[in-house]
Amino acid sequence: MSCYPCAAIRLLIYALLTLSLLPVQMVAVAFRLKLAGDLPRFYHGLCLKIMHIDVKYSGASLMEGGGIIVANHASYLDIPVLGAMTKGSFIAKKEVASWPVIGLLAKLQRCTFIERRPVRAREQTIEISQRLASGHKLILFPEGTSNDGNRVLPFKSTLFAVAESVLPDGSQVKVQPVSIAATRLDGATMGRDLRAFYSWYGDMDLAPHLWQFLALGKVTVEVVVHPPMTLAQVGSRKEMARICESLVVQGHQAALTGANLGAGVSLPETKRPGDLIGCTPLAVVFEDFRLFG
């Protein structure tokens, strides 16, 4: 059942939060402060609470240091889900940079914008490699577009070109696949039709979709983290895309059906279902920032 007064309150709180943190992040980015990397993760964590998204993380631990996280993509709501999971930036298509509001937020999170033109491929690969060499985590959606959340589209192997890079210390780029699935609404199993309230794809308009979503109850999103890999372990870029796609499909279907993936993706002993893998609790981060008196 929809609650539109609730949607109005959530939207107001979201707007106030965003407007209050925008100037802080602008200063942090301009002066290259450490806060520029920490604040987006804090922001995404608060957005999840405002939007009543309950995220259950399970599987392998997130890789240490820099690397690329590849995930299936159903909605702009995947951004706060993954953004709260780790301190990282997204790889997005160039058009996103010009989108109202979203483009500004993406730039302030230091997203890397790419063009799907062969003439720009080498230059963009070098740019991404430099960021990885600096220890950054980059998040990529290799399907190339969003979908209805009931399936995973084929991964484009061309987007794995950066995995062929060699880092300054001689090591190879680590690539870690992650599965995302919206599974429950107010504790009840979310079927194919209800999942459209989470998913944003095709010619859907953003504003009406967000308004409808904010009027819903609590949505549970499950994230399954798979072990990282390098090109040396899998043999080729095409094979890496195939293996990552296979793992993401497996985790996505397991989340939708409630299946147990087995010991290969068991939750680390130090974590509980629902914990943010590798995250400092938000209350601690809030205290450390000391931005709000």
The torsion angles phi and psi of 285, rounded to 5 degrees, stand at: -60, -45
Q: Which of 52, 69, 68, 62 is nearest to 9 (CA)?
A: 52
Q: What is the pLDDT of residue 1?
A: 61
| 187-202 pLDDT, tens digit each | 999 999 999 899 999 9
For 219, phi and psi rounded to 5 degrees?
Answer: -105, 130
CA angle 138–255–92, rounded 5-degree value: 25
DSSP secondary structure letter of residue 173: P
Q: What tens digit of pLDDT does each residue of 191-240 get?
A: 999 998 999 999 999 999 999 999 999 999 999 999 999 999 999 999 99
How far, rounded to the nearest angstrom, does the alpha carbon of residue 37 sit from its chain's CA centroid? 15
Quickly state the pLDDT bin for 167 (edges 50, 70, 90).
Answer: confident
- Between CA 65 and CA 167 the distance in angstroms is 12
- Distance, in Å, from the CA atom of 21 to the CA atom of 85, rounded to the nearest integer, reads 19
Q: Report pLDDT digits (tens) over 257-287.
A: 988 654 343 333 333 333 333 333 333 333 3
DSSP string, 203-223: T--HHHHHHHHHTS--EEEEE
Q: What is the mean pLDDT of residues 156-182?
A: 91
Give the pTM: 0.86
Determine which helix (DSSP H) or strand (DSSP E) holds 185, and give its type and residue range: strand 175-185
**Domains of the chain by start residue, with CATH:** 4-289 (3.40.1130)
